[in-house]
């Protein structure tokens, strides 16, 4: 409830801050124009004047929203999706209203409602269902409301809003928006008498307000409900109770003029298997319907754990990296978060990694149960969730707040933008301006990797967050010789120490290959501590790297043809894997640097030069061997991988399927636990360790140089 001094809700929505926030949301969506033809860019060119005019018209009761633009989106193998899109100005006011009333409405929703709510997610809904199963509720009624959003009755919706929103002017404005006609491309208009328009920024919230009535109807039953938007399941201890819960939901819907889609509604036992929210359940196991979508749909504790060094790399990964591809062979497709996926997708499963708002049409309860292990504590959210675009000819574009990847009319991936922190484009394709703006809106980066023809790499990154004082401190340190020397020594000594650890770990399996490299590296480590200049430190680093790769070659089967490090371009499969792995690691470090507001071109060990992100190179050095080299050695031990998997005419080029599998291995590594170094608080995974180092570097350049201490493996 509001306080006596609180402004009316409509006045709050029309404040400068709230209207600007609404505009930012609309700009981030980068959607198309409404019936007036005004684009987001055109509106932005006069945004301050336009916002002032909107406020004046609404306040003076002269505001008249325009009809909704009908847009039909074709979907291969499915009925077209029809959007009803308000014009940009109307979307701004609606977004401001949504931002204003959501904090009032959300606390009153039932806890088992997970869609379109802050702090809620598909993994939490999945965990909720898994907990129900583990408590003995093993019968599930899975349900889909037929044409739910298009058939929500306005009277019932407005009555519910009136009970919780004490502002008649605001309610009148919402009723005005609900009643807008739909305008077809030829200009003729269709009167609407029900439903919330799919395309309005206010509609997700309004749908939750309406369906909360059903939630409250079901809340007291001897079952457990999990609802995400218009898809819901009822978990019960018996078939009869599940049927009773389903019947009770159907009666509530029928009273309000809606009905269940009988083709997508049934009662089933967990052991029989089903899918819900993009997750397959069978018995006590869960897996993502779309290979690689685990971070978006599964509770983190249920995601497959990395295997021990002695086991084959699995095709599951805990990390959040989808890859986009077009076809779906038996190996994990690359149009979904590829670095994470189950081994045997169905042919249609390759098309969409749809983690945040999956449809019940493609997801039944059996599939969700297969990976359910409820953790005792809330797991840490994944860091730098990465979408890899590896399919040649793929097109990255958007639908509202979702990133879509398509090719030749097929949808390969469908992912909420809020679930993607970086995109790595490995193949020739296309990216829409809307996708670029949406990535920037969510502080995500886009990396174009060098192509086979040595095309230049590129990085798209948001310009916000750059801290002038922090960067000024970095540049001041360029002339601080003792500072740069001290930190460069730490970097190189950590690199040597960690390389020795990796070699010793794998040397246990091939002790006969030891040619004294470990002792030589130990001497270089000690000599580096006494280096008088940066040039001397760089010299020790170069000699240590050569020794490391010579020793690494003795751990790799000779049939791979690896005897030394070469690059630009790599000449053999091992060097191709190493080069790609270092590129992925470099980009992860680079992204964390940009997010922290540091200048990536100003480091300590690597000399500053145009076009080279010296700081990213510095901060990745200690972990090259631990993350990339170790992953490559394990990757080469797979039974179904051999030199014949590479093109004999171009052994230094990774075939597409090999690259996709290697991405999986890298992502599993980056998301795996780091281990212990016996010192400070242990980071949960390698990406968090890198982020910790970046933050420590910022502290170092601003006056606390001892804060930067690279992690040392034991």
Instruction: State pLDDT tens for residues 247-278.
Output: 999 999 999 999 998 888 899 999 999 999 88
To which residue do tokens 């002017």 refer?
169
Give helix 686-701 / helix 468-478 axis angle, nearest 10°. 70
What is the architecture of the domain spanning 382-460?
Ribosomal Protein L15; Chain: K; domain 2 (3.100)
The verdict on whether residue 541 carries a ligand-binding annotation is yes
Query: Of 139, 140, 138, 35, which is closest to residue 89 (Cα–Cα)?
Result: 35
Cβ within 8 Å of residue 150, ≥6 positions away? 194, 195, 198
**Does pLDDT of 2 surpass 50?**
no
84, 59 in Cβ contact below 8 A? no
- CATH 3.40.50.970 for domain 468-675+683-707, yes or no, is no
207, 131 in Cβ contact below 8 A? no
58-103 pLDDT tens trace: 998 899 999 999 998 877 767 788 889 999 999 999 999 999 999 8
Grade residue 296 by pLDDT with cuts at 50, 70 and 90: low
The pLDDT of 681-696, averaged and rounded, is 84
The pLDDT of 649-675, averaged and rounded, is 88
Q: Is the peptide bond before 569 cis (omega within 30 degrees of 0)?
A: yes
Let me know how long the chain is.
Answer: 714
| DSSP class per residue in 207-273 | HHHHHHHHHHHHTTSSSEEEEETTEEEEEESSHHHHHHHHHHHHHHHHHTT--B-GGG-EEEEGGG-
Grade residue 510 by pLDDT with cuts at 50, 70 and 90: low
Range 441-449, long-range pairs (CB < 8 A, 24+ positions) = 441/24, 441/27, 441/28, 441/29, 441/30, 441/417, 442/28, 442/417, 442/418, 443/595, 444/417, 444/420, 445/421, 445/587, 445/590, 445/591, 445/594, 446/422, 447/422, 447/423, 447/587, 449/424, 449/425, 449/583
The verdict on whether residue 411 carries a ligand-binding annotation is no
pLDDT given at position 451: 59
385-401 pLDDT tens trace: 889 888 888 889 888 78
Return the bridge partners of 319, or none: none
pLDDT given at position 379: 47
Ranges in the chain annotated CATH 1.20.120.920? 468-675+683-707
The pLDDT of 9-30, averaged and rounded, is 87
- Which of the residue ranges 357-371, 501-515, 520-534, 647-661 has the most confident prediction, judged by mean pLDDT? 520-534
For 109-153+194-289, CATH number?
Answer: 3.30.70.270
358, 277 in Cβ contact below 8 A? yes
Return the bridge partners of 269, or none: 139
Q: What is the rounded distance in angstroms from the CA atom of residue 548 to the CA atom of residue 247?
A: 67
Grade residue 504 by pLDDT with cuts at 50, 70 and 90: confident
**Does pLDDT of 555 surpass 60?**
yes
398-436 pLDDT tens trace: 887 888 888 877 788 888 888 888 898 887 888 888 888
Q: Which of 106-115, 304-313, 418-427, 599-608 has the lowest mean pLDDT?
A: 304-313
Sheet of 402-407, strand order: 410-416, 402-407, 395-399, 430-431
Q: What is the rounded distance in angstroms from the CA atom of residue 413 to the CA atom of residue 398?
A: 11
Cβ within 8 Å of residue 684, ≥6 positions away? 380, 673, 674
Q: What is the DSSP letter of 655?
A: -
pLDDT given at position 417: 85
Three-state helix/strand/coil letters over 276-327: ECCEEEECCEEEECCCCCHHHHCCHHHCCCCCCCCCCCCCCCCCCCCEECCC
Ranges in the chain annotated CATH 3.30.70.270? 109-153+194-289
Grade residue 381 by pLDDT with cuts at 50, 70 and 90: low
pLDDT given at position 337: 29
The pLDDT of 431-454, averaged and rounded, is 80
Backbone angles phi, psi at 512, to 5 degrees: -70, -15
**Does pLDDT of 569 surpass 70?**
yes
Cβ within 8 Å of residue 241, ≥6 positions away? 139, 221, 222, 223
**Does pLDDT of 300 surpass 60?**
no
The pLDDT of 458-471, averaged and rounded, is 76
Comparing 40 with 344, which gets the higher pLDDT? Answer: 40
Grade residue 367 by pLDDT with cuts at 50, 70 and 90: very low
Four-point Cα dihedral 680, 685, 691, 695, nearest 10: -10
Q: What is the DSSP letter of 5?
A: T
pTM above 0.75, yes or no: no
Ranges in the chain annotated CATH 3.100.10.20? 382-460
**Does pLDDT of 679 surpass 50?**
no
pLDDT given at position 356: 35
**Does pLDDT of 500 surpass 80?**
yes
Q: What is the DSSP letter of 625?
A: I
**Does pLDDT of 700 surpass 90?**
yes
Backbone angles phi, psi at 283, to 5 degrees: 60, -125
Backbone angles phi, psi at 263, to 5 degrees: -70, -20
pLDDT given at position 92: 95
């Amino acid at each position: 409830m509001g306080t006596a001094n609180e402004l009316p809700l409509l006045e709050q929505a029309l404040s400068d801050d709230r209207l600007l926030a609404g505009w930012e949301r609309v700009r981030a969506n980068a959607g198309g124009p409404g019936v007036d033809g005004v684009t987001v860019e055109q509106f932005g060119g006069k945004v301050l004047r336009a916002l002032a005019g909107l406020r004046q018209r609404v306040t003076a009761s002269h505001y008249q929203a325009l009809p909704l633009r009908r847009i039909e989106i074709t979907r291969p193998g499915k009925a077209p999706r029809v959007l009803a899109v308000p014009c940009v100005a109307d979307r701004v006011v609606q977004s401001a209203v949504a931002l204003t009333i959501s904090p009032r409405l959300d606390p009153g929703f039932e806890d088992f409602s997970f869609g379109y709510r802050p702090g809620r997610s598909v993994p939490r809904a999945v965990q909720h269902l898994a907990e129900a199963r583990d408590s003995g509720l093993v019968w599930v009624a899975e349900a889909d409301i037929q044409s739910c959003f298009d058939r929500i009755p306005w009277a019932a919706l407005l009555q519910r809003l009136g009970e919780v929103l004490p502002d008649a002017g605001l309610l009148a404005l919402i009723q005005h928006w609900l009643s807008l006609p739909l305008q077809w491309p030829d200009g003729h208009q269709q009167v609407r008498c029900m439903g919330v328009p799919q395309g309005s920024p206010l509609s997700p919230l309004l749908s939750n307000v309406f369906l909360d009535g059903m939630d409250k109807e079901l809340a007291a039953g001897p079952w457990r409900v999990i609802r995400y938007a218009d898809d819901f399941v009822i978990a019960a201890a018996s078939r009869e109770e599940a049927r009773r819960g389903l019947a009770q939901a159907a009666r509530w819907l029928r009273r309000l003029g809606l009905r269940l889609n009988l083709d997508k509604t049934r009662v089933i036992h967990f052991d029989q298997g089903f899918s819900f929210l993009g997750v397959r359940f069978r018995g006590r196991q869960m897996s993502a319907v779309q290979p690689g979508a685990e971070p978006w749909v599964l509770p983190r504790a249920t995601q497959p754990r990395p295997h021990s060094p002695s086991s084959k790399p699995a095709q599951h990964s805990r990390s959040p990296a989808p890859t986009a591809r077009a076809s779906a062979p038996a190996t994990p497709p690359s149009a979904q978060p590829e670095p994470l996926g189950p081994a045997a997708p169905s042919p249609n499963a390759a098309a969409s990694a749809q983690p945040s708002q999956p449809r019940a049409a493609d997801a039944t309860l059996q599939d969700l149960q297969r990976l359910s292990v409820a953790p005792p504590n809330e797991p840490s959210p994944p860091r730098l969730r990465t979408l890899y675009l590896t399919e040649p000819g793929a097109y990255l574009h958007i639908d509202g707040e979702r990133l879509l990847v398509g090719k030749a009319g097929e949808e390969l991936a469908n992912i909420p933008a809020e679930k993607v922190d970086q995109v790595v484009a490995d193949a020739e394709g296309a990216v829409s301006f809307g996708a670029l703006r949406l990535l920037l809106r969510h502080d995500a980066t886009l990396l174009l990797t060098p192509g086979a023809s040595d095309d230049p790499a590129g990085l798209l990154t948001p310009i916000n967050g750059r801290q002038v004082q922090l960067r000024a401190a970095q540049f001041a340190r360029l002339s601080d010789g003792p500072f740069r020397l001290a930190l460069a020594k730490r970097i190189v000594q950590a690199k040597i120490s960690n390389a020795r650890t990796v070699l010793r770990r794998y040397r246990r399996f091939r002790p006969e290959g030891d040619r004294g490299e470990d002792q030589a590296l130990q001497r270089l480590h000690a000599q580096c501590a006494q280096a008088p200049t940066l040039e001397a430190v760089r010299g020790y680093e170069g000699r240590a790297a050569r020794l490391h790769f010579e020793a690494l070659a003795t751990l790799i089967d000779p049939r791979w043809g690896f005897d030394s490090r070469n690059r630009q371009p790599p000449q053999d499969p091992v060097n191709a894997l190493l080069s790609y792995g270092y590129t992925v690691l470099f980009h992860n470090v680079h992204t964390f640097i940009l997010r922290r507001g540091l200048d990536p071109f100003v480091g300590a060990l690597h000399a500053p030069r145009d076009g080279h992100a010296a700081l990213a190179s510095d901060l990745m050095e200690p972990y090259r061997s631990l993350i990339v080299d170790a992953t490559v050695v394990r990757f080469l031990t797979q039974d179904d991988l051999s030199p014949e998997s590479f093109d004999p005419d171009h052994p230094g080029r990774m075939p597409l399927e090999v690259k996709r599998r290697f991405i999986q291995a890298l992502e599993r590594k980056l998301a795996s636990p780091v281990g212990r170094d016996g010192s400070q608080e242990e980071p949960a995974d390698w990406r968090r360790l890198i982020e910790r180092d970046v933050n420590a570097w910022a502290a170092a350049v601003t006056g606390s140089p001892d804060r930067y201490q690279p992690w040392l493996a034991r």
